[in-house]
Amino acid sequence: MRTIKVFLLTAALVVATGATSAMADTTGSSKSTQPHPKMETMKMTHMGLFVRLDAKPGKEAALEKFLKDALPLAQAETGTPVWYAVKFGPSSFAIFDAFQNDGDRTAHLNGPIAAALMQNADELLATPPVIERWDVLAVK
């Protein structure tokens, strides 16, 4: 579990700091290595959430659909520049997101994704969601 969290945190920080702009292009094309326009906003992410979700038996597909359907809601949140819905195994899922400040993180926790998740938790989840807050200590 700790390894998965470290991987996700690393992936989000790579995206958040614009490090992906330096990755090699293995297709042979001459694409620019300039960062995506959103990278300037994403460079300043300092904190986030890791929310562990375990589906009830028989509800795995429904939870996966719920998470996929939440993407437009996450995209509409201007204070949430990094949002991942991930699947670790048949019934094991998580949401990983990053924010520039605690106000944006709190707004996300009080927003439509969290509200919909809590409204559907009894039907979809085997256990209550485990919400962990994280803060960046250092970044390369």
Domains along the sequence of the chain with CATH: 2-21+42-135 (3.30.70.100)
Show Cβ contacts of residue 110 under 8 Å, excluding neighbours closer than 6 positions: none
Cβ contact 17:59 at 8 Å: no
Cα 134 to Cα 44: distance, rounded to the nearest angstrom: 15
Q: Please tell me which residue, 36 or 71, carries the higher pLDDT value.
A: 71
In which band, very low, low, confident or very high, does the pLDDT at 28 lie, cut at 50, 70 and 90? low
In which band, very low, low, confident or very high, does the pLDDT at 19 lie, cut at 50, 70 and 90? very low
pLDDT tens digit sequence for 125-139: 999 999 999 998 887
The DSSP bridge pattern shows strands 130-135 and 92-99 to be unpaired
pLDDT the model gives residue 14: 47
Question: What is the mean predicted confidence (pLDDT) over 69-88?
Answer: 96
